Chain A
């Protein structure tokens, strides 16, 4: 049943409907009853600007080699013959549309709906109004469907055309257009026949559009981008780029020019756009003249006048001008070092607001420079950036033929749609996207809406992609065009263009369907780019948690969707959960200021004094003749005498913050988080931890700031002074866990006893450190007993702290700018004198060394009756006779006694120390003696120098073994009283006490283990004791260690507490009596 024309028309766009009208007119003229596909073809061919005709002309290439005019004649003939065969019927005004033609319309409708690009639109439309026939068939689709009609294809076949080729020609007009441009060489081979792509919807001519801008200026842009990434601190290293490579000077010049042009040109001309806040000043020429003073004064003026957040980039040009006469330069070394010093000062005094940039044509120049000024590389915070691509503008010197010209045909094509001609061929790389901007923006807007509506997973990626740069650009003009977005948008444009190229291009820019139609492609494109971009993102993600944490924050707040990338547990560590109140953050900024003051080199000493003065061992410091200025002590006490964070919060908040809000906030959160974490893990040394957390937090805040504007070094040096080796170790471990999420990034090297495993055998200490560092460049290096470092290690460490490079024994250097060094010393430092912590007058009865050395001896209980009566009890079953005898031998007991005596002597002499002046003090321990001698003789100067150069020094308090020992004794008494019920005298041998202390000391400070031991083992033994022996009030129960070769008993899981105690009755004398009785 034929369909009325009016209904058919509803399914067509205006253009297609017009074609249908023409077809109907043809049918009417011929007096046919229905309008068939043949009529439609006839009408389509006779239309003034016939798409079909054009396509036929293009497709003709593969047909017989007739002149085109003849072939068209043949087509017309065949068509009219076929039309003549159509039966005529009764005349109507509008011959209704035949079933075949209607079917073709329906097919094209369905086809259009199926097109992936259109899916969303129609999906949406159909959900809005369930009328399917709102889909307007476009002329192109209609023609294709009509060509599918067997009758039509027969007609075309008779005329020597293949309808399939015509279809292809309609869908892919471009390759065939080449024919008309009069190119002598013919189309590039690859455009036509290589791609066996079966889907005609996929355009295959994408590259010319992406080639042209990228190719002409791409590598220049790439260089600029990489320089920019270093300047913005995104490369994970230092922030002042030094370009190295044969093409580096050219790249530098180009970069400087680009930045210099910025003020005049539009901001989007710069890549990446964040760079627009940098101003550049080139002082290369004045350096080669040898007078930089004027220019640098000018620079200082600029820096002080520039608005907050902007920075001045000083380009010092080629490094070879610093090499003096070696490079044939006439400048004297004095002038050069003066220039270097001035630049250093400029950088120091305006940290964060001044950047340096320079170039070196080759690595040799660079290494000569570093050899001449070894410290400068670190002071200037130089990041070596290899530049390997010759600037493409050199292409001007080489004939610019090749690829470009092969695309001249497109130029011919562009000229047909005039407005785009200029763009694509214009020489500015980013002009194209910027001019396309209008439509691009519109598109991306629509797309975002589209995508989020359709709820694709990709939308997250999409928004993520967009939100990242936009956050980073927070401080800037929101309207500036972004490089990344450009990239995305550009590729969208390109794919869009491919899809819809042809005759629809201009239409597309007006028509509403266009942006929608490349939804799918857009998604995939975004994904692709995401996939290939992540290297920089990832490096940031892994290495700079701080920035990432902050980023995540912003993303989390701006995005409700959760991105899997973000929810890494590692990050959550550094992510402060709660937004703190404003006044607390202000307070923290006060702390930052304090800290920044103390971190300045000239303040280092006072900083040191501060820690010295507030550690609990005050006596030593006070006794020392140095005068501590009241200001320093005040400040120090204000910070450190209130170790609890809660109390810290009460600090006065009078200072106005100079640090940007975000980093301030970050710092405060960070400080609290770090402090809490370490305190939980270590459980003591509150003051030291508080100071360390401040240091680390402000270090991270600084680094965090780097991403914005401040410049900083990546490496960080801490010195832990004083006793409590376990405490230091635990702090280092928890620091590592906080910063990097696990312990694997901790390098532990004890310089007093180097590991002797297979991997390290035969290696010098410096090589061991270097080896570990090269394996884990991002790490916490825990160097114990730096005072024991040999000369090699000393010089390497000093070099590392100065230049940021640690060299091994063969002189190979390893960058340490991402490591945190923790050096420990068991000495205290005051007034440039190092002294052992035991000399400060608070010597305890139990020295840390002995406790750490305590072994898990088996224990025994000796029961002694005060009235000297021998209690004749059978010896315990599990103690065999021989052992008893062995124990009873004189020498053994005398040995024990001697030990005890020695201890007593030692302790008493310690007590004596209090009354003696420090100089006359006679070191008891030969070990300590040698250590101090070493310090005095060889490395004292080095050690002092080293400590002075570290970023911070933290003093640890001695662990209070005495009170702990008292507590243990009390607890044991209590335990005895509870099990036995008597108040006996209980003695504990020092060795046993050391053992017990060590159990607590090494097990994270909690005494659960010891309590368990007392509850299970000791009370059991006490109970046995009571059962076997008659215990009275006057009995003395001693706990001794069996030092002889009693086989080591199994111990309570890994500690030095035995799970059995030998019970022995009698004292030495008693035993003799006992034996004589036998």
Chain B
């Protein structure tokens, strides 16, 4: 029973180092997104890979609509996995929604994490009075109805936008994984993410964080990185990555890996 979650979410531990490093993928991808980053870390870390329950590679039967209504359920999953693996300390690299999950997990179990590295993270995607999250409610609704009307078409349109940089392979890869998600789950997760607002709790994070922000991200404006830096409770650094797009691990793996290595060594 206990191993169930490890099997269901395809948890893998690879590498030969001493320290643990968790790679958590974001919305629309699965653990394969890290495959070009992995070679840089496998020799030095024991890398933990897993799929979010919403990923296309996970059996959709596991996605319980009553359970995954908030990010906390995803946090539960992450902490359960780490506990099952008997990990007591680890560094955490999270992309997009997983960055949010990492923040919440670090609030709940600060002793578990040595460092959070947040790629394309945003505490809140919607604009507010004095906060620029990058989206207006109406835009989001449009996106949702587009997703709902024709998921395939939406994927085809969104993937190049998200990847940003002109890397066809990355666009292909992202389209594949995004399209693998069952559309209803995808839509549901999107809603969960856009309904989340982490701004009030950032100060509760005590773990040192590193925010990695690309030069141009369709989902996360640069101001968000500054917001994170000033509001996260731990020691926080911001690394600007001189590439474009929301998915630097797909579009620019080696520059990202260098930044990651630097951030982890600090």
Interface residues of A (CB under 8 A from B): 185, 188-190, 194, 207, 210-211, 213-215, 218-219, 221-223, 226, 244-248, 360-364, 366-367, 384, 386-390, 392, 398-399, 401-403, 406, 461, 487, 490-491, 527-532, 534-536, 538-539, 542, 565, 774-777, 812-815
- Interface SS of chain A: helix
Report which of B88, B191, B202 forms a contact with A775, defined as CB distance below 8 A: B88
Which A residues lie within 8 Å of B61 (CB)?
A: 528
Q: A244-B201, A535-B77, A812-B206 are in contact. Are A530 and B196 (CB under 8 A)?
A: no
Report which of B89, B200, B233 forms a contact with A248, defined as CB distance below 8 A: B200
Whether A215 and B188, one on each chain, are in contact in the complex, defined by CB atoms closer than 8 angstroms, is yes
Whether B66 and A244, one on each chain, are in contact in the complex, defined by CB atoms closer than 8 angstroms, is no
Whether A189 and B233, one on each chain, are in contact in the complex, defined by CB atoms closer than 8 angstroms, is no
Whether A362 and B62, one on each chain, are in contact in the complex, defined by CB atoms closer than 8 angstroms, is no
Q: Apart from A245-B200, A245-B201, list 5 A-B contacts with CB within 8 A.
A: A210-B65, A215-B188, A222-B70, A403-B191, A528-B8
Shortest C-beta distance, B75 to chain A (Å), equals 8
Shortest C-beta distance, A64 to chain B (Å), equals 26
Q: A226-B72, A532-B77 are in contact. Are A218 and B197 (CB under 8 A)?
A: no
Which B residues lie within 8 Å of A815 (CB)?
A: 110
The CA of A402 and the CA of B190, in the complex, are separated in Å by: 12
When C-beta atoms are compared, the residue in chain A nearest to B143 turns out to be: A402
Which 5 pairs of residues, A with B, have the shortest CB-CB distance?
A363-B203, A218-B69, A531-B4, A535-B76, A214-B65
Shortest C-beta distance, B11 to chain A (Å), equals 12
Which B residues lie within 8 Å of A213 (CB)?
A: 66
Whether B2 and A534, one on each chain, are in contact in the complex, defined by CB atoms closer than 8 angstroms, is yes
Interface residues of B (CB under 8 A from A): 1-2, 4-5, 8, 53, 61-62, 64-67, 69-73, 76-77, 79-80, 83, 88-89, 100, 104, 107-108, 110-111, 124, 137, 141, 144-145, 148-152, 182-185, 187-188, 191-192, 195-204, 206, 233
Whether B64 and A210, one on each chain, are in contact in the complex, defined by CB atoms closer than 8 angstroms, is yes
Whether A211 and B184, one on each chain, are in contact in the complex, defined by CB atoms closer than 8 angstroms, is yes
The CA of A812 and the CA of B205, in the complex, are separated in Å by: 11
Shortest C-beta distance, B118 to chain A (Å), equals 15
Which A residues lie within 8 Å of B53 (CB)?
A: 532
Which A residues lie within 8 Å of B202 (CB)?
A: 363
Whether A246 and B200, one on each chain, are in contact in the complex, defined by CB atoms closer than 8 angstroms, is yes
The CA of A213 and the CA of B107, in the complex, are separated in Å by: 29
When C-beta atoms are compared, the residue in chain B nearest to A399 turns out to be: B141
Q: A527-B1, A532-B67 are in contact. Are A185 and B196 (CB under 8 A)?
A: no
Whether A398 and B65, one on each chain, are in contact in the complex, defined by CB atoms closer than 8 angstroms, is no
The CA of A392 and the CA of B196, in the complex, are separated in Å by: 10
Whether A403 and B4, one on each chain, are in contact in the complex, defined by CB atoms closer than 8 angstroms, is no
Whether A775 and B1, one on each chain, are in contact in the complex, defined by CB atoms closer than 8 angstroms, is no
Report which of A190, A211, A247, A399 forms a contact with B65, defined as CB distance below 8 A: A211
Whether B137 and A398, one on each chain, are in contact in the complex, defined by CB atoms closer than 8 angstroms, is yes
Which B residues lie within 8 Å of A487 (CB)?
A: 64, 66-67
- Which of A389, A530, A775 has the largest count of B CB atoms less than 10 A from its CB? A389
Whether A402 and B141, one on each chain, are in contact in the complex, defined by CB atoms closer than 8 angstroms, is yes
Shortest C-beta distance, B101 to chain A (Å), equals 10
Which B residues lie within 8 Å of A189 (CB)?
A: 150-152, 183
When C-beta atoms are compared, the residue in chain A nearest to B233 turns out to be: A363
The CA of A386 and the CA of B108, in the complex, are separated in Å by: 9
Which A residues lie within 8 Å of B76 (CB)?
A: 532, 535-536
The CA of A802 and the CA of B201, in the complex, are separated in Å by: 24
Shortest C-beta distance, B226 to chain A (Å), equals 17
Whether B197 and A775, one on each chain, are in contact in the complex, defined by CB atoms closer than 8 angstroms, is no
When C-beta atoms are compared, the residue in chain A nearest to B108 turns out to be: A386
Report which of B4, B66, B104, B137 forms a contact with A530, defined as CB distance below 8 A: B4
When C-beta atoms are compared, the residue in chain B nearest to A217 turns out to be: B69
Whether B80 and A535, one on each chain, are in contact in the complex, defined by CB atoms closer than 8 angstroms, is yes
Whether B182 and A532, one on each chain, are in contact in the complex, defined by CB atoms closer than 8 angstroms, is no
Q: A190-B182, A215-B188, A532-B62 are in contact. Are A388 and B73 (CB under 8 A)?
A: no
Report which of A388, A399, A528, A814 forms a contact with B196, defined as CB distance below 8 A: A388
Which B residues lie within 8 Å of A490 (CB)?
A: 66
The CA of A538 and the CA of B137, in the complex, are separated in Å by: 39
Which B residues lie within 8 Å of A226 (CB)?
A: 72
Whether B71 and A190, one on each chain, are in contact in the complex, defined by CB atoms closer than 8 angstroms, is no
Shortest C-beta distance, B218 to chain A (Å), equals 21
Whether A214 and B66, one on each chain, are in contact in the complex, defined by CB atoms closer than 8 angstroms, is yes
Report which of A222, A531, A774 forms a contact with B5, defined as CB distance below 8 A: A531
The CA of A223 and the CA of B197, in the complex, are separated in Å by: 13
Which B residues lie within 8 Å of A534 (CB)?
A: 1-2, 5, 80
Which A residues lie within 8 Å of B5 (CB)?
A: 531-532, 534
When C-beta atoms are compared, the residue in chain B nearest to A195 turns out to be: B182
The CA of A207 and the CA of B89, in the complex, are separated in Å by: 37
The CA of A252 and the CA of B84, in the complex, are separated in Å by: 33
Shortest C-beta distance, B96 to chain A (Å), equals 15
The CA of A178 and the CA of B11, in the complex, are separated in Å by: 39
- Which of B2, B183, B192, B200 has the largest count of A CB atoms less than 10 A from its CB? B200
The CA of A414 and the CA of B69, in the complex, are separated in Å by: 25
Which A residues lie within 8 Å of B79 (CB)?
A: 535, 539
Whether B197 and A388, one on each chain, are in contact in the complex, defined by CB atoms closer than 8 angstroms, is yes
Which B residues lie within 8 Å of A775 (CB)?
A: 88-89, 111
Whether A367 and B4, one on each chain, are in contact in the complex, defined by CB atoms closer than 8 angstroms, is no
Which A residues lie within 8 Å of B70 (CB)?
A: 218-219, 222-223, 388-389
The CA of A527 and the CA of B5, in the complex, are separated in Å by: 10
Report which of B2, B4, B195, B199 forms a contact with A219, defined as CB distance below 8 A: B195
Can you report 17 residue pairs joining A to B where beta carbons are below 8 Å apart? Answer: A189-B151, A214-B66, A219-B195, A222-B70, A245-B197, A361-B200, A362-B199, A384-B204, A388-B70, A399-B141, A528-B62, A530-B4, A532-B5, A534-B5, A538-B80, A542-B83, A814-B110
Which B residues lie within 8 Å of A185 (CB)?
A: 149
The CA of A398 and the CA of B126, in the complex, are separated in Å by: 13
When C-beta atoms are compared, the residue in chain A nearest to B182 turns out to be: A190
Whether B197 and A390, one on each chain, are in contact in the complex, defined by CB atoms closer than 8 angstroms, is yes
The CA of A412 and the CA of B197, in the complex, are separated in Å by: 36
Q: A214-B66, A215-B65, A218-B66 are in contact. Are A207 and B184 (CB under 8 A)?
A: yes
Whether B144 and A386, one on each chain, are in contact in the complex, defined by CB atoms closer than 8 angstroms, is no
Report which of A248, A398, A401, A777 forms a contact with B111, defined as CB distance below 8 A: A777
The CA of A232 and the CA of B77, in the complex, are separated in Å by: 22
Q: A219-B192, A244-B201, A527-B4 are in contact. Are A194 and B182 (CB under 8 A)?
A: yes
The CA of A708 and the CA of B203, in the complex, are separated in Å by: 32
Q: A530-B4, A534-B80 are in contact. Are A390 and B196 (CB under 8 A)?
A: yes
Which B residues lie within 8 Å of A361 (CB)?
A: 200
Report which of B64, B195, B199 forms a contact with A532, defined as CB distance below 8 A: B64
Whether B66 and A529, one on each chain, are in contact in the complex, defined by CB atoms closer than 8 angstroms, is no
Whether A528 and B4, one on each chain, are in contact in the complex, defined by CB atoms closer than 8 angstroms, is yes
The CA of A5 and the CA of B255, in the complex, are separated in Å by: 78
The CA of A261 and the CA of B73, in the complex, are separated in Å by: 26
Which B residues lie within 8 Å of A219 (CB)?
A: 69-70, 192, 195
Shortest C-beta distance, B157 to chain A (Å), equals 14
